[in-house]
Homo-oligomer: A and B are copies of this chain.
Amino acid sequence: MTDDARLEIARLEVSRHAARLFWEKGFDATSGNDIAAAAGISTRTVWRYFRSKEACVEPVLKVSELRFAVLLGEWPKTESIEQYLARSVTAFVSDEAFIRDSIAAVRILAILHREPALRSAWLMACHAAEMELRGVIADRAAQSAEDFEVRLCAASITAAMRLVDEEISAAVINDGVQVSSEEATARIISAIRGAATLPICDAVT
């Protein structure tokens, strides 16, 4: 494992504690010392890992978005998005750690309206996901990741996923609505189909 990857994992682990504390006590009431104590590291290391307090949640938000991009990265060219997700989402949502991170992320998204600082972290996480998605779309569209069309498509799809994530999170946490993973997947697919500016949703030749 590379040093970079190990650092990413360490950051993610601290990020989980930060997300929990922000959810339990609120962003303002949580200090860098609190996060350090919860994660069992020194405060200095918290600030070495993250450039600001809000950035402490970026990793958990990022993995939730990114794993979806990674999933799409393994999407065979011969399948439509419906076909592929129908069979792959099950395995996707049965990973314990992923579920825990997802719940943490959903909780953060549900309090975005009260915590502007966390929204900026969320938008940064979406931006990271967008960068990742460029490669996936470039591959599927058989174009360069630098092409404007590809970048536009990645941005649109990321925006669609962001909207769906925010909406479902607010509904589940704030309004107590139950949303099955099939329903969530269906809404994401529909949003992606609507937003995709390149013909990547169906099988490509």
Contact = CB atoms under 8 A, between A and B. Distances in A.
A195 B160 CA distance: 11
A151 interface: yes
Contacts of A191: 148, 152
Interface residues of A, number: 27
Contacts of A167: 148
* Prevailing SS type, chain A contact patch: helix
A51 B158 contact: no
Contacts of A121: 120
Contact of A195 (B51, B117, B123, B152): B152
Contacts of A51: 116-117
A159 B167 CA distance: 18
A163 interface: yes
Contacts of A195: 152, 155-156, 197
Nearest to A193: B197
Nearest to A191: B152
Interface in A150-200: 151-152, 155-156, 158-160, 162-163, 167, 191, 194-195, 197
Interface in A81-119: 116-117, 119
Contacts of A149: 194
Given A54-B120, A155-B156, A155-B163, 16 more contacts: A116-B124, A120-B120, A120-B123, A148-B163, A148-B167, A151-B163, A152-B160, A152-B163, A152-B194, A155-B160, A155-B162, A156-B156, A156-B197, A159-B159, A194-B197, A195-B197
23 contacts: A51-B116, A116-B124, A119-B124, A119-B127, A120-B121, A120-B124, A123-B123, A123-B124, A123-B127, A148-B163, A148-B167, A148-B191, A152-B159, A152-B160, A152-B163, A152-B194, A152-B195, A155-B156, A155-B160, A155-B163, A156-B159, A156-B160, A194-B197
